[in-house]
Amino acid sequence: MPRLPPSLFWKARREISPLAASLLPACRDLQSTANELRWIKEHVQDTKSPIPAKIRVWRLVEKRAKGIPLQYVLGTQPFGDLEIKCRPGVLIPRPETETYTLHLATLLTQSHPPPPSLSILDLCTGTGCIPLLLLHSLQTTLPQTTPITIHGVDISPTAIALARKNHTHNPPPSPSPHHTLTFTQHDIFSPTLLSTLYPPNQNQKLPQIDLLTSNPPYISPHDFTHHTARAVRNHEPRLALVPSPTQLADGSNSRYACRPEDVFYAHLLEIAKAVRPRRVLMEVGGWEQAVRVVGMVFLGGEGGKDRGGGGGVGGYEVEVWRDEPAAAAASSGATGDGVERVEVAGREVVVRGVGRGRAVYLRLRED
Partner 1 sequence: MDTHITLPSALLERARKLAIEHDQLSAALENDFDAKKAKRAGELSRVANAVKELEKAKAALIELQGLLESNDAEMRELARDDLEATNAQLAESSHNLSVALTPKHPFADMPCLLEIRPGPGGLEGRFFADSLFQMYKAYCSSKGYRTRIVQYEASDSDGSTGSEGEIPLQEAVLEVQEQGAYGFFRGEAGMHRVQRVPATEKSGRTHTSAVAVWVLPSFPENGTSDSEADWDKPESDFYIDPNEVRSETMRAGGAGGQHVNKTESAIRLTHIPTGTTVSMQDSRSQQRNREDAWRLLRSRLAQQRREAREEQARQLRSSVLANSQITRGDKIRTYQYQQDRCTDHRSGLNTHNLPDVLRGGETLEKVMDSVQNWLINKDIEALIADEEAAAAPSKKKKGK
Report the residue number, 229 or 345, with the smaller CB distance to partner 1: 229
Other C-beta atoms lying within 10 Å of the C-beta of residue 348:
12
User: Distance of CA 37 to CAs 18, 59, 73, Å?
Assistant: 11, 12, 12
Pair 125, 159: CB distance under 8 Å: yes
Alpha-carbon separation of residue 82 from 129, 131, 177, 254, 278 (angstroms): 9, 11, 21, 39, 26
Q: Can you tell me the distance from the alpha carbon of 300 to that of 293, in angstroms, rounded to the nearest whole number?
A: 9
CB of 350 to partner 1, least distance (A): 18
Q: Which amino acid is at 179?
A: H
Q: How far is the CB of 184 from partner 1 (least distance, A)?
A: 23
Measured CA to CA in angstroms, residue 186 lies from 25, 154, 192 at distances of 39, 6, 9
First to last CA, the chain: 53
User: What does the alpha-carbon distance between residue 334 and residue 330 come to, in Å, rounded to a whole number?
Assistant: 6
Q: Which residues bind partner 1 (CB under 8 A)?
A: 11, 13-17, 27, 30-32, 34-36, 39, 69-71, 77-78, 80-81, 91-92, 94-99, 102, 215, 217-219, 223, 227-229, 231-232, 236, 240-241, 283-286, 323-324, 327-328, 355-356, 358
Task: Closer to partner 1 by CB, 101 or 119: give it.
Answer: 101
- Choose between 11 and 347: whose C-beta lies nearer to partner 1: 11
Q: How far is the CB of 242 from partner 1 (least distance, A)?
A: 9
Least CB distance from residue 204 to partner 1, whole Å?
38
Q: How far is the CB of 147 from partner 1 (least distance, A)?
A: 27
By the 8 A CB rule, do 19 and 58 touch? yes
* Residue nearer to partner 1 on the CB measure, 92 or 108: 92
Least distance to partner 1, CB of residue 232, Å: 5
| 295/353 with CB nearer partner 1 | 353
Q: Which is nearer to partner 1, 80 or 115 (CB)?
A: 80
